[in-house]
Amino acid sequence: MLKHAMLACVLINGIIFAQNHSKTLVNIKARLIEGTAISIIDHKLQPEQFSKIAYPQLSNYNSDGIFVHISGYKNNVMVGYRYFNFSEFDSIKANRFEQMIGTHSTLQYINDQGNCLFIYEPFPDSESMTKEKSHNKICYISLVYN
Amino acid sequence: MKLIFVVILCFAFSFGAIGQTASNTASGSVNIILPISITSLGGNLDFGEILLTGSSTVYQLLPAQGQYFQIMGHPGRSVSLIFNQVDLSNAIWVTLYGGTVGNFIFTPVVIDSQNEPIVSGNFYPLINNGSTGILDVMVGGSISVSANQPQGDYVGTFTISVSY
């Protein structure tokens, strides 16, 4: 009787899946940072393309660079950029103002009175950083929230 | 492993019974399929730091810059992949630092090693690689940040499952 049951078991289960299911998990992260804590009080580069804005957004600058005068804090600064509707995630985080950041940007600290001059120069130096793309970038400058 | 043991047990009982009963015969066949598994090969689904601009924006993480997985199983078999959108929230961050709780949706984009799209619920063959079948997939996706999205660290868990 037992043998019959076992044979039936084998026949019915013509294919035996040792393990027919598996899954895995991965965390998704995104840090959203308020960018309105900074005011841009001066800038230099084709001024007709820019207007003074209360929030740190500059658009359609060319690859000659941006000169931005920012006041109101002494803290880490992050410069990020995106083009079209897609961000580039190699955003730049400067731990010190006097720091060469990346291969296509320079960030300079002028004084310690709370006023800083940032020179952001996107040098197109790779295939993914073409001059055409840099023309279409939007630059954001913001405090880094630690 | 447990099922393999059951199969062995079946045959053991059969052989044991031969000595007791000589009049019954039967024939059968069984295909044992290699277990399926999905493991992470590296990468991440980290969108990094995003500066809020006051306008709604879609941020994209390309699959090639995202998370890599390898599915292993029986060569030649097809497997179904299941994955869904994920709701990301900054609730934990708000608990620690204060502020407003917000949410947004992560929409996954999954492709294979040939850059062909993988659709959740569809079946895809495991590519023969010796005695094993393999399917490599990459996961990226997009998030849509609204104009008035609260700041904070948004987290969520992406789950991908495979089955024969």
Pick from A106, A131, A104, A110: which is nearest to A119 by CA?
Answer: A106
The predicted pLDDT at position B85 comes to: 97
Distance from CA of A139 to the nearest CA of B (A): 10
Q: How far apart are CA A117 and CA A133, in angstroms?
A: 25
* Position A141 pLDDT exceeds 50: no
Overall pTM > 0.90: no
ipTM (interface pTM): 0.79
- B151: chain A residues, CB-CB within 8 Å: 32-34, 145
Q: What is the pLDDT of residues B77-115, one digit of tens each?
A: 899 999 999 999 999 999 988 889 999 999 999 999 999
Specify the DSSP class assigned to residue B120: T
More confident residue, B23 or B127: B127
Interface test with A, best of B3, B18, B51 (most A CBs within 10 A): B51
Residue found by looking up tokens 């841009």 in the block: A40
Best residue in A28, A53, A84, A128 to probe B by mutation, most B CBs within 10 Å?
A: A28
Is residue A51 pLDDT above 50, yes or no? no
Query: Is A3 within 8 Å of B161 when comparing Cβ atoms?
Result: no
How many residues in chain B?
164
**With an 8 Å Cβ cutoff, are A29 and B45 in contact?**
yes
Residue A12 has pLDDT above 90, yes or no: no
Tens-place pLDDT, residues A66-91:
434 333 233 334 444 333 333 332 33
Span A138-142, average pLDDT:
40
Task: Quote the pLDDT of residue B162.
Answer: 95
